[in-house]
């Protein structure tokens, strides 16, 4: 990244010294994790570039958008309906939440015993080192878990934080509540931007977001091939970047990548030999730069071919159906989210079906259940998932981890042993 | 407790050996904690008796009730509307959830990193040592926190568990959702018992439960006196037993106690000298036999005069308004619960007002914020409460603890130091 951005960062109120410290370790981590992978697709170059400019050029685009009177709205969760944000010509971005660096700062206002994603995100804001937090006009939070629900109250002291109430079951009243929340958000966005949502702007936004979902579906479909034409790390990186990059450019670039992968599949070319243990990751999300588990798996002779996570299939599997009026379209936007099988719902047995289906579709040899430390919903839901996988005779390993490197040796041992077991 | 109950326990499917192990330590703990307190009110004898028969005579009453065709419904939470359970002539009881003994068993199906209350309650069922779990026809759970919400899915494998969805905010849609939930529960109870709720049965039930709330209010009002006429331990015990005892008998006995305490207040007689540091406990609930923090405080020269918890004011402060029709009464039952300021709501600023008000009313010298280990909602909400108390110049100490005795020395040190500080 060029040094030209320092003036922009300073203007955004970024703590330049801390920001330097934070960024210092990332190029080496990225190089080590991504660059020297075997037979890496050519089209990954674009995503390498995006990462290299994730605090630079992309932020500049957002600053320019704001100079033209546009708004930037930040969120954390696949339940926040991006379509509405785009429909008022605002930019929707994800928030920094995947690094260990700001966790200690997060722990100044939050208990230690909550998940690193929440501690990191609040820490990023308090440390003033996430340009997305700095450029965002406001944050849209949600009530998906106790940790986030209550952390928004604190975050709101530092940046305006609007909260959507996601219901906890999937009964009629819950659909009604969520539809009302989607409508409430539309009003909020109209007020904030001074732009009225009309049918055309909404339809275009739906098409744009659906299109990104479709290219990600295509990417994941290509991962079903054996040998798999792309590493799990690269695929994860792409899903992570989907939260940050311009959706149209991103979709075009993922399409190009898919064209290349399609050729590979035709030729039977992969990034690992056939017979490499194929792993499904399921559980908590993995925001940038959390590549820890994928990296261990792929360094220990396995390959991740699918993620049943919010930085995986839960993000893009469901499309928004097209509606014929604004209110019908809003209803469809609400309905789409309610099809996501997140552990925040009770019961959530559909997730079992999802996992068993993905195991089948992706020819999975073993499942790694990834739980962010202290993430209660996924951690407790493991009980049911484990039983279902055992009944289907699918090996499963539960990993609970934070963003630190302290548990790397233990994780490497456990994952190595698991891969040897499933590879037999 | 007499040995006559062994046959009953065996019939209830209790694991007699484990149950003996569990009960073995309790008489000594109770004796040490309660019996030798200075100037203890005479009327506490009844509650000593209730405790001594909590696995015996009271369970026998429930068994007899079932023999007459009645139902027993168990719950964990102040949001479950007891009025409805009583309106179908069922007995409403709390569930065992306050002991360390079954925690290890709970951890076989639940992660270690969730709160001891949930681990204990599931452990009690799996160990078959809680007679209330054994005698209950079904459990009513709720979605107040991630831990409970997801644990009910597992508990349902061992005892039918019906879940009420408590909303997470207090907006119009949330009131509607909760009112629908109250109506849904009424239908469930009618189906289970074969009894239709009519206006009279509902009104009587409302009066009965309100009456218990009123006597508890009276008891707490008497704790406002200085010197305080009853120890915090005894008052906590009474609130804990409110979940188990017959409501009418219980209310009569608390009234008798209050008469005695009223005399004491007139005479200026207390259980501790005037000037003893007066402590408000706020935070997570303390089910029987969790007397740990009260015991430390009162052994270290302080006295607990109020609990802003679900085994305290949150349980009884709000009365159900009387309605003129069944549907209006159901609405009022729903409205009452929504006035409870639990950390499960966002925002929950009303709890700050409650605490500041109680500090005033009870002439509090210091607040101890009690957090069950890994209880996220209360733990995160501490940030706001701490700031409000600091602004009001009220000393506050946060204690995070489980049910084990491992942290006793540390807690004693911390609480001793805190009491010395506030006593100056």
Q: What is the pLDDT of residues B285-300, one digit of tens each?
A: 999 999 999 999 999 9
Mean pLDDT of B264-278: 97
* Whether the Cβ atoms of residue A161 and residue A60 lie closer than 8 Å to each other: no
Interchain CB distance below 8 Å, B114 and A165: no
Choose, out of B107, B108, B168, the residue to mutate when testing the contact with A (most A CBs < 10 Å): B168
- Kindly indicate the confidence band of residue A327, based on its pLDDT and cuts at 50, 70 and 90: very high
- At residue B209, does pLDDT exceed 70? yes
pLDDT, averaged across chain A: 97
Strand-pairing partners, residue B304, are: B279
* Whether the Cβ atoms of residue A265 and residue A229 lie closer than 8 Å to each other: yes
* Whether the Cβ atoms of residue A246 and residue A362 lie closer than 8 Å to each other: no
- At residue A2, does pLDDT exceed 70? no
pLDDT, averaged across chain B: 97
- At residue B2, does pLDDT exceed 80? no
* Whether the Cβ atoms of residue A271 and residue A231 lie closer than 8 Å to each other: yes
* Whether the Cβ atoms of residue A210 and residue A229 lie closer than 8 Å to each other: no
- Kindly indicate the confidence band of residue B1, based on its pLDDT and cuts at 50, 70 and 90: low
Nearest CA in chain B to A145: B146
B319 interface with A at CB cutoff 8 Å = no
Which ipTM score applies to this complex? 0.97
CA distance linking residue B100 with residue B97, whole number of Å: 9
- Kindly indicate the confidence band of residue A1, based on its pLDDT and cuts at 50, 70 and 90: low
Tokens of A175: 């659909």
Q: What is the pLDDT of residues A68-119, one digit of tens each?
A: 999 999 999 999 999 999 999 999 999 889 999 999 999 999 999 999 999 9
Tokens of B335: 């409205």
Q: What is the pLDDT of residues A122-131, one digit of tens each?
A: 999 999 999 9
- At residue B423, does pLDDT exceed 70? yes
Nearest CA in chain B to A141: B346
* Whether the Cβ atoms of residue B151 and residue B110 lie closer than 8 Å to each other: yes
> What is the DSSP code (8-state) at residue A4?
G
Q: Is the bond leading into A289 cis (omega within 30 degrees of zero)?
A: yes
Q: What is the pLDDT of residues B125-140, one digit of tens each?
A: 999 999 999 999 999 9
CB B19: neighbour CB atoms within 10 A? Answer: 22
* Whether the Cβ atoms of residue A232 and residue A305 lie closer than 8 Å to each other: yes
String of DSSP letters for B190-234? HHHH-----HHHHHHHHHHHHHHHHHHHHHHHHTTSSS-SS-HHH
> What is the DSSP code (8-state) at residue A32?
I
Helices (H), A158-268: 172-193, 199-222, 232-242, 247-267
Closest CA to A281 of A239, A242, A244: A239
- Kindly indicate the confidence band of residue B64, based on its pLDDT and cuts at 50, 70 and 90: very high
Interchain CB distance below 8 Å, B380 and A173: no
CA distance linking residue B359 with residue B354, whole number of Å: 9
Strand-pairing partners, residue B92, are: B73
* Residue of A150, A344, A383 lying closest to B380 (CB–CB): A150
- At residue A179, does pLDDT exceed 80? yes
Interchain CB distance below 8 Å, A154 and B347: no
- Kindly indicate the confidence band of residue A180, based on its pLDDT and cuts at 50, 70 and 90: very high
Q: Is A262 exposed, middle or buried (0-12, 13-18, 19+ CB in 10 A)?
A: middle
Interchain CB distance below 8 Å, A113 and B173: no
A146 interface with B at CB cutoff 8 Å = yes
Q: What is the pLDDT of residues B67-98, one digit of tens each?
A: 999 999 999 899 999 999 999 999 999 988 99
- CA distance, residue B350 to nearest chain A CA (Å): 13
The domains of chain B, with CATH numbers, are: 3-24+55-197 (3.40.50.11890)
Q: Which residues of A touch B383 (CB under 8 A)?
A: 109-110, 153-154
- CA distance, residue A291 to nearest chain B CA (Å): 24
* Residue of A111, A167, A169 lying closest to B379 (CB–CB): A111
- Dihedral in degrees, nearest 10, Cα atoms A258, A260, A264, A266: 80
CA distance linking residue A51 with residue B332, whole number of Å: 55
Mean pLDDT of A182-196: 98
pLDDT of residue B3: 61
A-to-B residue pairs, Cβ atoms closer than 8 angstroms: 132
Interchain CB distance below 8 Å, A146 and B382: no
Interface subset of A 329-348, CB within 8 angstroms of B: 343-344, 346-348
Q: Which residues of A touch B381 (CB under 8 A)?
A: 150, 153
Whats the size of chain A, residue-wise?
424
- At residue A301, does pLDDT exceed 90? yes
pLDDT of residue B23: 95
B169 interface with A at CB cutoff 8 Å = yes
Nearest CA in chain B to A374: B113
CA distance linking residue B217 with residue B227, whole number of Å: 18
- CA distance, residue B387 to nearest chain A CA (Å): 11
């Amino acid at each position: 990244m060029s040094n030209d951005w320092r003036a922009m960062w300073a203007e955004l109120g970024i703590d330049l010294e801390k920001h330097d410290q934070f960024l210092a370790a990332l190029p080496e981590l990225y190089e080590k994790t991504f660059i020297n992978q075997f037979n890496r697709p050519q089209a990954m170059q674009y995503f390498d570039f995006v990462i290299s400019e994730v605090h630079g050029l992309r932020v500049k685009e957002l600053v320019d958008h704001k100079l033209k009177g546009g708004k930037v709205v930040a969120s954390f969760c696949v339940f926040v309906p991006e379509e509405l944000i785009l429909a008022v010509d605002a930019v929707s971005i994800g928030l920094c939440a995947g690094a260990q660096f700001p966790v200690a700062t997060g722990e100044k206002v939050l208990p230690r015993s909550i998940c690193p994603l929440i501690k990191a995100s609040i820490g990023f804001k308090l440390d003033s080192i996430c340009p997305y937090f700095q450029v965002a006009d406001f944050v849209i939070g949600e009530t998906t878990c106790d940790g986030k629900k209550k952390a928004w109250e604190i975050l709101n002291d530092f940046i305006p934080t609007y909260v959507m109430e996601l219901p906890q079951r999937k009964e009629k009243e819950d659909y009604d509540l969520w539809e009302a929340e989607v409508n409430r958000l539309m009003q909020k966005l109209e007020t904030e931007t001074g732009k009225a949502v009309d049918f055309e702007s909404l339809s275009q936004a739906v098409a744009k977001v659906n299109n990104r979902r479709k290219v990600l579906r295509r990417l994941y479909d290509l991962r079903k091939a054996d040998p798999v034409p792309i590493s799990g790390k690269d695929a994860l990186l792409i899903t992570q970047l989907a939260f940050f990059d311009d959706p149209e450019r991103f979709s075009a670039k993922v399409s190009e990548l898919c064209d290349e992968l399609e050729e590979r599949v035709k030729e039977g070319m992969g990034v690992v030999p056939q017979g490499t243990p194929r792993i499904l990751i399921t559980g908590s999300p993995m925001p940038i730069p959390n590549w820890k588990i994928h990296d261990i798996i792929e360094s220990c002779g396995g390959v991740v071919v699918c993620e049943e996570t919010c930085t995986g299939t839960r993000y893009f599997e469901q499309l928004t159906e097209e509606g014929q009026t604004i209110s019908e379209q809003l209803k469809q936007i609400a309905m789409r989210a309610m099809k996501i099988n997140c552990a925040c719902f009770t019961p959530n047995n559909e997730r079992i079906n999802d996992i068993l289906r993905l195991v089948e579709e992706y020819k999975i040899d073993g499942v790694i259940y990834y739980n962010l430390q202290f993430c209660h919903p996924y951690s407790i839901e493991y009980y049911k998932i484990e039983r279902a996988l055992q009944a289907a005779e699918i090996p499963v390993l539960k990993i609970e981890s934070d963003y630190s490197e302290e548990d790397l040796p233990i994780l490497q041992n456990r994952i190595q042993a698991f891969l040897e077991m499933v590879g037999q």
